[in-house]
């Protein structure tokens, strides 16, 4: 792999930071009653926080598969992988829980009048519930309540549950040809969609997004070196863009086709169920965006700008810490009756989130990442943070 392509892979971190900022904007809109006008497609799709989360999952599958592809599946490599994931995810997450608790118990609960009803659930939750505390601390058990403390943590539940069996998935993907791998991913989408509906489990529906990323990682050289004409390449990019930005449109498209075929209209429950199709559309769109970055020099050059690279290193902190930051700010905003200053508090919250994320990356994330590498090394796994010897994304695993 050339040095040029190695650097382009690093641009994925910049994409992750942009996705984290999209989620931050969505929560700031709720916490601060930030007035954002209804944007037309495709801008509405680019600011869809669920699409950003789909990108997180696809990229996680990509990164995790690469980190596992250098070793054979064994008990030692499995334990080492779990140690790295735990030390990567939990320390900063626990810090975010403490920050939310502090906001709840150090502020007057009546000081949050601008909250959306669901956000009020965080304040109304029984924080003496021992069972729920176990779910919050473990992140892998059943019955996790996303509105107990830090709502963005629901994605960490998905990440940690998938981590339990991802080494096996990665091992399977690594032994399939590109054709068989594609069939395996498509079959997993169908199985997860049906199984998720039958078992009423969104977690099951999300597993194929990690598989998509693992498939891309396994066959990256074939995909990236394939000879594709400029016309076909840009058609593929356009199609990916449509998929990524059309989570709700996909649902509506299927419902219209169903009606035109004479099967009648869907119930509201069925329409909500069809949003699962939007997850997979966003996953395919995410793969197309990643393909654009590694094949297009201008796109990679833009994402490798110092400011975006800097934010890329802080992306996990931005994602997990922005909620407590805006929770505190919303309380102070209401306390001093500053109802007309939403944009000012948004900018202040954004700057505070980035500043705190920088400090926590330096003094919490980076030390625990290094500790995870050392411990996994002692368990028999070479703890080199590489894709092909020197790529930084795996270090952020």
Residue 353 structural domain: 3-396
Closest CA to 45 of 286, 255, 274: 286
Q: For residues 195 and 209, what is the distance between their CA atoms, to the nearest angstrom?
A: 15
Number of domains forming the structure of the chain: 1
Percent of the chain predicted with pLDDT > 70: 83
* pLDDT of 393: 44
Q: Omega into 33 within 30° of 0, i.e. cis? A: no
Per residue in 232-253, pLDDT tens? 888 888 888 888 887 755 555 5
Q: Report the range out of 110-124, 192-206, 271-285, 371-385 with the highest average pLDDT.
A: 192-206
Specify whether the CB–CB gap between 23 and 153 falls below 8 A.
Answer: no
Give the residue, 255 or 83, on which the prediction is more confident. Answer: 83
DSSP assignment of 41-60 equals TTHHHHT-HHHHHHHHHHHH
Q: Of 294 and 43, which is predicted with more confidence?
A: 294
Q: Are 244 and 237 in contact (CB under 8 A)?
A: no
pLDDT of residue 106: 77
Distance CA 27, CA 154 (A): 14
**Looking at residue 120, what is its pLDDT?**
73
Is the pLDDT reported for residue 296 higher than 70? yes
pLDDT at 396 over 80: no
Residue 395: what pLDDT? 37
Residue 2: count other Cβ atoms within 10 Å of its Cβ.
8
pLDDT band, very low/low/confident/very high, at 397 (cuts 50, 70, 90):
very low
More confident residue, 364 or 38: 364
Q: What is the 3-state secondary structure (H, E, C) of 58-100?
A: HHHHHHHHHHHCCCCCCHHHHHHHHHHHHHHHHHHHHHHHHHH
From CA 371, how far away is CA 80, in angstroms rounded? 11
Give the confidence band of 202 by pLDDT, cuts at 50, 70, 90: confident
The position carrying tokens 């080199």 is: 384
- pLDDT grade, residue 306 (50/70/90)? very high
pTM for the model stands at 0.88
């Amino acid at each position: 792999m050339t040095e040029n392509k190695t650097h382009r892979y690093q641009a994925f971190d910049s994409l992750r930071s942009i996705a984290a900022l999209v989620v931050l904007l969505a929560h700031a809109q709720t916490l601060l009653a930030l007035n954002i006008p209804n944007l037309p497609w495709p801008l509405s799709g680019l600011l869809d926080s669920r699409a950003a989360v789909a990108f997180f999952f696809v990229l996680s599958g990509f990164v995790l598969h690469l980190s596992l592809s250098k070793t054979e599946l064994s008990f030692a490599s499995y334990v080492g992988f779990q140690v790295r994931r735990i030390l990567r995810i939990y320390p900063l997450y626990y810090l975010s829980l403490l920050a939310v608790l502090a906001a709840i118990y150090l502020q007057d609960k009546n000081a949050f009048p601008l909250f959306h009803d669901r956000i009020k659930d965080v304040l109304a939750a029984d924080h003496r519930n021992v069972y729920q505390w176990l779910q919050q601390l473990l992140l892998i058990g059943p019955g996790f309540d996303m509105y107990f403390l830090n709502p963005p943590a629901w994605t960490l539940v998905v990440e940690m549950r998938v981590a339990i069996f991802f080494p096996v998935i990665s091992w399977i993907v690594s032994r399939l040809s590109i054709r068989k791998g594609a069939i395996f991913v498509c079959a997993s989408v169908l199985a997860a969609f049906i199984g998720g509906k039958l078992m009423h489990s969104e977690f099951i529906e999300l597993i194929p997004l990690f598989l998509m990323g693992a498939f891309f990682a396994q066959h990256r050289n074939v995909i990236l070196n394939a000879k594709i004409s400029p016309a076909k390449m840009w058609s593929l990019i356009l199609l990916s863009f449509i998929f990524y930005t059309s989570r709700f449109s996909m649902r509506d498209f299927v419902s219209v086709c169903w009606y035109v075929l004479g099967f009648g209209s869907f119930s509201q429950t069925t329409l909500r169920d069809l949003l699962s199709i939007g997850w997979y559309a966003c996953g395919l769109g995410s793969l197309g965006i990643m393909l654009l970055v590694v094949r297009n020099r201008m796109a990679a050059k833009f994402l490798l700008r110092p400011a975006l690279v800097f934010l890329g290193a802080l992306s996990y902190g931005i994602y997990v810490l922005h909620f407590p930051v805006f929770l505190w700010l919303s309380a102070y905003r209401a306390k001093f009756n500053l109802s007309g200053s939403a944009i000012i508090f948004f900018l202040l919250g954004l700057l505070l989130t980035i500043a705190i994320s920088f400090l926590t990356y330096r003094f919490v994330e980076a030390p625990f990442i290094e500790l995870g590498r050392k411990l996994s090394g002692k368990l028999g796994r070479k703890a080199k943070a590489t894709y092909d010897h020197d790529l930084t994304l795996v270090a952020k695993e």
